[in-house]
Structure 1
Amino acid sequence: MSDTVTGTGGIGRASAFLASGTIVSRILGFVKVIVLAAIIGQFGAAADTFAIANQLPNTIYVIVAGGILTAVLVPQIVRASLHADGGTAYINKLLTLALVVLCATTLAATLLAPIITGFIGLNLPQNEKDLAVAFAYWCLPQMFFYGLYTLLGEVLNARKSFGPFTWVPVLNNLVAIAGLVVFATLFRPDPFGDRSAAEITSAMVAVLGGSATLGVITQAVVLFYFWHRIGLRYRPDFHFRGVGLGAAGKMASWTFGMLLLTTFAGIVETQVVTLAHGKASVAVLATAWLIFMLPHSVITVSVATAYFTRMSEHAARGNWTLVKTDASSAIRGTSLVIVLAAAVIAVCAYPFAAVFVAPFDQVQSIGNVIIAFILGLVPFCVLFVVQRTFYALGDTRTPFFFTLFQVVLLVCAVVACAWLPTDWIAVGIAGSITVTGTLQAILAALLLRRRMHGIDGRRILRSLVKYLVAVIIPLAAGLTLMVILGGGVENGFAVSSRLSAMVSMALIGMVMAASYFGLLLLMRSDELTAFLTPLRERLRR
């Protein structure tokens, strides 16, 4: 499970391999959520309290993986690889220090579970708060193993062994699904969320929370095998002085500040959305976010991860022109598919929701939240690449400030959502994330342009405009087909069952993709040509 990035072809191979692992993992992730919804529902006490407890380690993982560890590890390891020992001593010291911090943080969070969970679920009834705390004791240890997984995986990425980091989450999902099957065997499923907090026993909490954590443990520990495969051996080393960790610590301090900001924003979001008790609340917001993250994880993360290592190498050598070229290529290449993905998901929001729940009012609730999220997908993916370009430059200070800008706006907007009708609170929060995230992406791009004296902006903007023009006709065709299939009415074919929803999404997706790429070919899109050329050559051979 490795791929070496050398030139555009290497980027393509690495990105494709990363994407394939992510696709399999995400498919299993959706299966896990479908099974979870069939067992405890998307609405009600069990769904929301488990979502609150499982959300904190997941949120911290996303921020840590996308910020602290990614920002610090890859650039520092790439630079350390120039040392005589290939960076082995540096890796051991950095990993030891990070594990000590992770262990202390996880232990403190677990001991403070009643305070943390009680504060996050401030607006829940007392019996549901107690249930969320019980789930939290089982779920919070995931923080350490998510961190371990990210540490080991980012070291592999820095050594250009990209496969394991994206493939081992498959094991996590398999273990979690097995745990859910055990739960369904032992206890009565509750797909409509009718079970009250008082009816949920300690054994139910242990099976549900324990299996989720066991999956994360498996995901992390397996990566040690791949370390051995590429010749890495971890030896704890507590001698932190004199090896240049000061620079890493300075970078980490800014990303830790980002962690605090985004965690604070997440807490405010949860506190406000729990006001919609019994309506679309924490679990619905989490499911809609999972759907939002699907194309981002498969496309943007796969491409940007491969580019990130190369950008870090160029930055280490002071070749700013190549850093700029890679950033432009990553933005244009990912946006090519992300624009289509956003349009397809927006059109298919109700069928997507019908995969998880059956009552049409619940389908509408989840579907509306999906639409509010998905409108911000393209700016979110552009922001991801821009942020990693700053990390490749060794700059975590600037990302802190444009994150602060977004968090201040977001918190104000989310608090204002508390005055919305309960049916629309989750939609309002998702919309607030979209608007503030778009503004953040614009600010981040302007700051990167100033930092690098240009970011190939005209070419990027020209490509984005071309994609948006090309998606207009596919969008109209998809909406027409959705109306024909009854996607917006109760008992319509597209929302009448899980199977009909999947068939409808596949049909609409194929029609929209064919027309989108056909129009881009007519418009002679350079990015699409670059994507298709190696494919054509392989087919000819």
Structure 2
Amino acid sequence: MTDRIARASLFLASGTIVSRILGFLKAIVLAATIGVVGSASADAFAVANGLPNTVYVIVAGGVLSAVLVPQIVRAATHEDGGAAYINKLVTLALVVIGAATLVATALAPLLAWIYGGNFPPDTLALATAFAFWCLPQIFFYGLYTLLGEVLNARRSFGPFTWVPVLNNVVALLGLVAFGVLFGFDPTGSRTADEWTPGMIALLAGSATLGIVAQAVVLFWFWGRIGLRYRPDFRWRGVGLRSAGRMAGWTFGMLLLTTLAGIVQTRVVSEASGYGASVAATDAAWLIFMLPHSVITVSIATAYFTRMSEHARDGLLDRVRQDLSGAVRGVGLILTLASAVLVVVAYPFAAVFQPGNFTSVSALGNVIAAFALGLVAFSVLFVVQRTFYALGDTRTPFLFTLVQVIVFSIAALACLLFLPREWIAVGVALSTTVAVVIQLGLAVALLRPKLGTLDGRRVVVSLARDLGAVIVPVAAGFATLWAFGGFREGGFAIADRWSAIVVMAIVGSVMALLYGGILWLLRSPELRGFVAPALERLRRR
């Protein structure tokens, strides 16, 4: 990893860390406001607030990431630096996303039924009411992605990862206002028919207002790098047809992913009122995504623009080096992160819903099941972005199709063979198994495109990381057991603060052991991260 890439990744990670910390605070306050496990209100809001992101992803989300950055990088060779192309592409995208937002909002009852049709009638009605307030987020998700990806392509990486801080602040204020005005409900005992229009408007409306804020503020950052958005409806003659061909396969891939999401929500919603269901699965996924967002997305985003430039210039050896460096860097950190999440799953669950061991174990088991697939999920993200840099969106469609088939079969099997209180855990494990299979297929399909994948060095690095984490895992479980992390009333799960303290202790023990073992094993990836910091300390 070059020093420039390292600095960019660290800057991106710092913004993501702040945003994610606030996001967790928001999730904790939300749990205190409407509950998590066994809460009809939480399940209804989880379905409704997830719909905008789902619809947006179908319409344009991954298409923009897969197509926009490579196309803007290529357009940078134009006389105007690509400004005209950017205005045309952004205008076209906003027209499409705006139309999709209007249609989706009108279809709110249908969309709520597709995902929450297994809910009791009053819970489904509440989810529909939330959806009318949440679905306008689609347009502003699109605006945020468009403006942010253009900034990334121009090597202005910071705003895209820092402005979600504003979103979380606005949403937090809305949750606090809701709790003050209508009361907090950490056990989720408030029934669906107790919700008034004012309560619905405040909870869902503040969530939407946060998305609006994070999108609109990016116009200011455009001005700072010399860009001005001017609507341009003359879409012919700037290569949009080739972009459309690329986007077609990505669109198909996103439809597959959405189908898997529908299967997941329908299956876990069967457990609503019995144990971990939609809201608990969302909370576990939020925890799972923390290290992925902070580490993988930051590293991959910093690499992706450079990888696209190398692919544009036909420098496949450089693309291969970028891929190898990104995977080894991700593997180094995510191996530890995955292990820590598995060990501290119960205390992490207690941060959301402390005191009740049944609820803690229900959510904790889902967290651990997701965390087992963290490394594979993050490496897959890097491999997928490599295909996009090469201008290939067809192959990701193919290996995503396999993943969706495997996941759907496994998730439906959970519905048939597992008791309701274990369905969410089974679905999380199904996700892990499907992602591992998807990664293996993706790597096999990528190798012919690059000739070789620097496989020996990557495998040795990942194996070294895996071997180094064994002792830390044993030490982590022993430490957690000593703090009562696996029994009713234990200090580690008694309340939020004790859970946070124990997680900090366990995480520190595991990190020190892991880093020490890798240092003794002379891990070049670890030394590559640590050496610049040590050199700066020596100079001071």
SS at match of 1:82: coil
1:30 to 9, 24, 35: 24
Q: Decide which of 26, 40, 49 is 2:34's aligned counterpart.
A: 40
Q: Is the 8 A contact 2:134 2:207 kept in 1?
A: yes
Match of 1:369 among 366, 369, 375: 366
Note the 1:291-306 alignment, pairs <5 A: 291-306=287-302
The alpha carbon displacement at 1:61 in A equals 5.1
Cross-structure match for 1:86: 81
Rounded to whole Å, the distance in 1 between the matches of 2:422 and 2:477 is 23
User: Given the alignment of the two structures, is residue 55 of structure 1 paired with residue 50 of structure 2, yes or no?
Assistant: yes
Alignment TM-score, normalising by the size of structure 2: 0.98
Partner residue of 1:252 out of 238, 242, 247 = 247
What whole-Å deviation, never above 9, does each CA across 1:475-531 have from its counterpart, x for those lacking one?
111011011111010111100110110000000111100010100010000111111
Paired residues for 1:130-279 under 5 Å: 130-278=125-273, 279=275
8 Å CA contact retained: 1:274, 1:282: yes
8 Å CA contact 1:65, 1:150 repeated in 2:
no
Residue 485 of structure 1, aligned match among 475, 483, 486: 483
Please give the secondary structure, in 2, of the residue aligned with 1:414. Answer: helix
- 2:114 match: 119
Matched, 1:401 2:395: no
Q: Is the 8 A contact 2:328 2:462 kept in 1?
A: yes
CA distance in 2, matches of 1:531, 1:59: 36
Structure 2 counterpart of 1:329: 325
Q: Which residue of 2 aligns with 1:4?
A: none
The residue aligned with 1:3 is: none
- Report the residue type matching 2:348 in the other structure: F
Amino acid at match of 1:387: Q
Unmatched 5+ residue regions in structure 2? none
Deviation at 1:67, TM superposition (A): 2.0
Amino acid at match of 2:412: V
Deviation string for 1:356-405 (max 9, x for gaps)?
00211100000000011000000000000000000000111100111111
In 1: Cα distance, 2:60 partner to 2:514 partner = 33
By how many angstroms is 1:66 displaced?
A: 6.4
Query: How far does the alpha carbon of each residue in 1:98-148 deviate from its partner, in whole angstroms, 9 at most, with x for none?
Result: 111101111111101111111211111111111100000001111110111
Please give the residue correspondences for 1:471-482 in structure 2 after superposition, counting only pairs within 5 Å.
471-482=469-480
Residue aligning to 1:539: 537
Q: Distance in 1 between matches of 2:171 and 2:386?
A: 34
| Unmatched tracts of structure 1, length 5 or more | 1-6
Q: Work out whether residues 8 and 302 of structure 2, in 8 Å CA contact, stay in contact via their aligned partners in 1.
A: yes
Are 1:60 and 1:259, in contact at CA under 8 Å, matched by a contact in 2?
no
1:373/1:391 CA distance change after superposition, 3 Å? same
Paired with 1:324 and 1:60, the residues of 2 have a C-alpha distance of 34
* 2:63 equivalent in structure 1: 68
AA partner of residue 421 (structure 2):
D
Instruction: State the distance in 2 between where 1:67 and 1:315 align.
Output: 19
Matched, 1:527 2:525: yes
Deviation at 1:64, TM superposition (A): 7.1
Whether the 8 Å CA contact 1:14–1:306 is kept in 2: the answer is yes
Question: 1:59, CA displacement in angstroms?
Answer: 3.4
Distance 2:56 2:330 in 1: 23
How far apart, in 2, do the equivalents of 1:64 and 1:101 lie?
8
- The alpha carbon displacement at 1:58 in A equals 2.8
Mapped to 2, the partners of 1:241 and 1:277 lie a distance apart of 50
Q: Give the residue type in structure 2 aligned to 1:136.
A: A
- Percentage of matched positions with identical amino acids: 65
Q: What corresponds to 1:510 in structure 2? A: 508
Letter in 2 for 1:217: V
Instruction: Supply the distance in 2 between the matched residues of 1:62 and 1:486 (Cα, whole angstroms).
Output: 42
- Equivalences for 1:384-395 in 2 at 5 Å? 384-395=381-392
Name the aligned partner's letter for residue 112 of structure 2. T
- What is the CA distance between 1:63 and its match in structure 2? 6.8
Give the distance between the partners of 2:176 and 2:395, measured in 1 at CA.
Answer: 46
Paired residues in the alignment total 535
Q: Distance in 1 between matches of 2:348 and 2:495?
A: 11
Matched residue, 2:6? 12
Q: CA deviation at 1:452?
A: 1.1
1:338 is aligned to 2:324: no
* 1:185 shift after superposition: 1.1
Q: 1:524 to 1:32 in 2, by over 3 A?
A: same
Change (3 A) 1:452 1:465: same
Q: Distance in 2 between matches of 1:262 and 1:62?
A: 9
